[in-house]
Amino acid sequence: MKKNYSVYTVLFLAFLLCIPMSCKKPETFDEWLELAEDGNLEAQIHVAECYYHGNNVPMNYEKAVEWYTKAAEEGVDSIEWRLGRCYYHGEGVQKDYAKAVEWYQKAADKGYSYAQNNLGVCYEKGQGVPQDYTKAVEWYQKAANQGYAMAQYNLGGCYERGHGVPQNYAKAVEWYQKAAEQGDAGAQYNLGVYYERGQGVPQNYGKAVELYQKAAEQGDAMAQCNLGVCYANGYGVPQDNAKTAEWFQKAANQGYSVAQYNLGVCYANGTGVPQDYAKAVEWYQKAAEQGYADAQNNLGVCYASGTGVPQDISKAAEWFQKAAEQGNEDAINNLKRLKK
């Protein structure tokens, strides 16, 4: 299953706080900057956002942090969260998880769901605070109860793994479902896996395919790969080799090692694509270099037999060894045969 993740959405903030109604709204960046330097909160936020995104000025994270800090010191929850993210990711400042937590906490205490979720991530990973799954769940729950999809996804992950709560697949499904209904691709993928396995819900291949499709269309590589597997085996859809190769290709192009291996198998067998051993080797190589044991073994087989590459027993042994070290039984046996 996927790991949790923090929000990467940038919110543009507009606060009409200190500009008299009779005054003309600033039109240029310099006018906004002048107003910000006079202490206008809306202008400080506007200037910070311009520097962060490179709107009308060259992108400058350091300047963005400078102005975010001025605005955050006024207690604006969304800016406290934004400043926390800068410290978390090292944008414009040295990466500092403790400072990130400090700013997340301020915003989270005000009920800001994005900060509550990010604070939960810090507690779950032990970043800037001692690792504490119970506290992670507490903050995910607060944000999830406000309908924040990423927190719902993360909370589902805690129930799935038994982090801070007793392991409960039905509860994991419940929270993944809430996030999936809001279009969260990670939740759609995870929920699809549950339906495919019949874990926490009755097994339903059709439902799994439906959820994989939604996530795959958003570019989720694991969902694309699983959708390819469903087409290969006729799970929830009619078997379709062309569709199988198509979805493996999409995921493989994103660097997903499982899909790269699967696509290599398609080329080796001529499944959904013309048989092409050189192409098979190409995709095995990509997956093997990421440490995928099955691909390492298959690459070894290609070198041992001279399939798609010139025969090279030394290279075959090298790849069998890498796979064998991961416990791959086929590679262990292939290595023994080479040594006879």
Tens-place pLDDT, residues 79-101: 999 999 999 999 999 999 999 99
Q: What is the CATH number of the domain that holds 337?
A: 1.25.40.10
Angle at 36 between CA 31 and CA 37, to 5 degrees: 100
Average pLDDT of the chain? Answer: 93
Tokens standing for residue 10: 């940038």
Q: Write down the pLDDT at residue 126.
A: 98
Q: 324 in a domain, yes or no?
A: yes
Tokens representing residue 167 in the block = 């392991």
pLDDT of residue 309: 97
Is 187 within the bounds of a domain?
no
pTM of the model: 0.86
Does pLDDT of 324 surpass 60?
A: yes
Burial degree of 116 (CB within 10 A; 0-12, 13-18, 19+): buried
Note whether residue 294 is domain-resident. Answer: yes
Residue pair 126/110 in contact by the 8 Å Cβ criterion: no
State the residue for tokens 């759609």.
Answer: 188
Overall number of domains in the chain: 1
Q: Is residue 121 part of a domain?
A: no
CA distances from 330 to 159, 258, 301 (A): 35, 17, 10
In a domain, 204, yes or no: no
Tell me the residue type at 298.
N
Residue 304 lies in domain: 255-340
Residue 271 in domain: yes
Q: How far apart are CA 95 and CA 105, in angstroms?
A: 17
Does some domain include residue 122?
no
Give the residue-averaged pLDDT of 124-144: 98
Q: Which of 25-29, 209-213, 220-224, 295-299 has the lowest mean pLDDT?
A: 25-29
Cα atoms in the Cβ-side hemisphere of radius 13 Å centred on 193: 17
- Confidence band, pLDDT 50/70/90 cuts, at residue 27: confident
DSSP 4: P
With 0-12 / 13-18 / 19 or more C-beta atoms within 10 angstroms meaning exposed / middle / buried, residue 28 is exposed
pLDDT tens digits, 35-69 = 999 999 999 999 999 999 999 999 999 999 999 99
pLDDT digits (tens, 9 = 90+) for 155-205: 999 999 999 999 999 999 999 999 999 999 999 999 999 999 999 999 999
101: its two tokens? 């937590």
Whether 185 maps to a domain, the answer reads no
